[in-house]
Structure 1
Amino acid sequence: MAAEDLFRHELSGAPDPQDDPYRVGRIAAAAARALGAAGASISVQVSEVRVPFGASDATAALAESVQFTEGVGPCIESIMTRSRVDAPASVLRRRWPGLAERWRTDTPYRSALSEPILLDGVTGALDVYLTHDDGAAGLGTHAVDTVSALVTTCLREDFYASIANPDVERRSVVWVAIGMTRERFGIDASEALSRVRDQAREAGVTVDDFARQLLIDARRLH
């Protein structure tokens, strides 16, 4: 079955958008299925913070959160350059060793492909996660192009509904942590995010988890 047919077949089982306004995860799952990948996630860049829109499953959501915590990786580069970024295992280890190690430890993913998505002037990315070392090799350029276009079309149809979903709410706590850090140390948002990332890595958790911890105990901030 062609990639487009696989995508539409997977998505056809999703509830009506009016009953399920958080169907971005289903779109990501359809993309993963159509490309024969282990998982996928969709995110957009808002100011200093990349906001997750949805993931195919909990493991893909964790992979996105880990990449956001590291502050580097194929998704960030794809958004910055608005170009496709192929990240086989050799590239991950060479360019982003911290991310490669975290993915190897916390997920089954060994390589990835990031595809830019343009939505109403907002730049985002479709991250495709793979359990082999080869990255985009074998996926097929036409299949990737087709699935990327289908994802973009689906998101444009549901863009505003997509903003209000649990994944976005999860990342919104990071904005609060950035605000707390700016006020405490008198620094700008970029420096505050870097500081929160550093402390999250020191604690061995994701930025999302560390931000939630700060809301409970602000003394963890240093």
Structure 2
Amino acid sequence: MNDHALYANVIDQPRSSPRGAGQHVLVVVSDPRETELLSTTLGLAGYRVGTADTGAEGMARLIRHRFDLIVWDAGLPGQESLARGRRLPAADRPPMLFLTTCDALQALLPELGPGTEDYVTRPLRIAEVLARAQVLLRGRPGRHPTRPSYGDLVLDDATCRASRGARPLDLTPAEYRLLRHLLANADHVLSKEQISRYVWGEYRGDQAIEKLVSRLRRKVDRENPALIHTRRGFGYRLGRGDG
């Protein structure tokens, strides 16, 4: 697509185009012109936009931050990172809008998850991108950041801070990601491999995970009841009681 066609997409948008409500969108596209087009128009439409130009960088950003929607270039090399992203727990996995070509649709369509994944074809039509994004985001939170909680444990995803009752928890980024993952799967045991791949995007071995859980437990479980529990031979669980 030439530059004129790219920016005609922006100029020609009707005022009635679908608009966002402050949702956080991650654009993972290799072409810098498409990245600029998408980030500019999504921003003008009321979304907060982050960008990445490789699959590995996109997955790293997805692990570090909460996004409401991913716009993903289906032609990126090294789609292993995308496969890892699809294995995230449903509570942490945002819907995905794929950018593809007509020639590649035959391979992409059987892989799409119903209701949570969609596509647009190149050359991009921004009105279509905005419409598909609005459908995927329907019913998901917008400007108001979520504050997931369990009893007196409260997390703030907008600031990546946590507290237990009136006591703030001074967490590192890895500790916050671990606590967020445990809370999203409260009362369910997570294996060490599941935890490691969520926190770091790779498996780092038992010692690294045990040390991270130990540090987090010292910060979270100063009060009763203890919330972080070990299931020997299985993994870790956030919940009440040690069952």
TM > 0.5: no
Alignment TM-score, normalising by the size of structure 1: 0.31
Which structure has the higher relative contact order (CA within 8 Å, separation 6+)? 1
Alignment TM-score, normalising by the size of structure 2: 0.29
Of structures 1 and 2, the larger Rg is shown by 2
